[in-house]
Chains A and B, each alone.
Chain A
């Protein structure tokens, strides 16, 4: 379905469907390959430990940013637009972490001719730690 959510159906406090990935070298290496992001701390446990992460290599912030976009897109459908995404990288994505994108609607308004919905978003790990708090603005169609 190209449209999953319409502007009229959104309420403050609504939560987006959780979007999860277990992350390890299978995800990180594919991302490194497309983004040409071959950095030792993301590839080599020894380099990760040398960078003060005792568990070794760790994941890319940019990939978590992509995961937030994916979660928004899967929730909204193909006819909608993601206008803006902000996030801070607060914690490391360790190997075998199960990351889950979460989001809550904080507001909605019509601005510059766009039906904008505002959200708080984050990527939490399996312990519930907030690794990537941020905010998003998406633009939704109206019914009819």
Chain B
């Protein structure tokens, strides 16, 4: 009889726990990037003017256009960020199936046109337990974004579920 798998925690996970990836730097954020993002996430409603009308945005406390908090300046990379790839195997075998369990985003300085955002990621923690899917691993990664003025923009905690 085959023995049940004891753990889904890999040596690569143990080795990389808490170790920040190298930094990635976004292309400069453009007004057009922000406008398109806002249209997409509000579709079919017209998005708030704060995201596309500079004249209006200047009258707000922000002093100009800002991006929605969920805006991703790292979309459309020339080369994809593969920092987490060794930790998230894909396929159909035990422990290779996965899903997005959820996330916590904490927001600080807003993103604005012209900003250049830097990012780093690390495997923060994990736990595993028996669920209806069998042995299941809950991995938590942490990503920080900051702008060209070294202001923290966002902290993102992602829960990857593997089973």
Contacts and interface: CB of A to CB of B under 8 A. Distances in A.
Given A84-B105, A89-B102, A34 B40 contact: yes
Give the most central of A65, A78, A88, A89: most B CB within 10 Å: A78
B61 A79 contact: yes
Nearest to A80: B61
Contact of A85 (B42, B48, B105): B105
Interface in A43-79: 61-63, 65-67, 69-70, 73-74, 78-79
Interface stretch (B11-19, B69-77, B116-124, B140-148): B69-77
Contacts of A87: 102-103
B107 A34 contact: no
Interface string B87-108: 0000000000001111111110
A16 B52 CA distance: 25
A35 B106 contact: no
Contacts of B41: 31, 34, 63, 66-67, 69-70
Q: Interface on chain B toward A: helix, strand, loop, or mixed SS?
A: mixed
Interface in B53-96: 59-62, 68-70, 72, 75-77
Interface residues of B, number: 32
A84 B104 contact: yes
Contacts of A30: 39-40, 43
A122 to B, nearest CB: 12
A24 B159 CA distance: 26
Interface residues of A, number: 32
Interface in B18-50: 33, 36-37, 39-44, 48, 50
Contacts of A36: 75-77
A19 to B, nearest CB: 9
Contacts of A67: 41
A70 B38 CA distance: 10
Contacts of B61: 2, 78-79
Nearest to A68: B70
A20 to B, nearest CB: 10
A74 B41 CA distance: 13
A88 B102 contact: yes
B44 to A, nearest CB: 7
5 contacts: A2-B60, A27-B40, A34-B36, A70-B42, A88-B159
Interface of A: 2, 26-27, 30-31, 33-37, 61-63, 65-67, 69-70, 73-74, 78-79, 81-89, 134
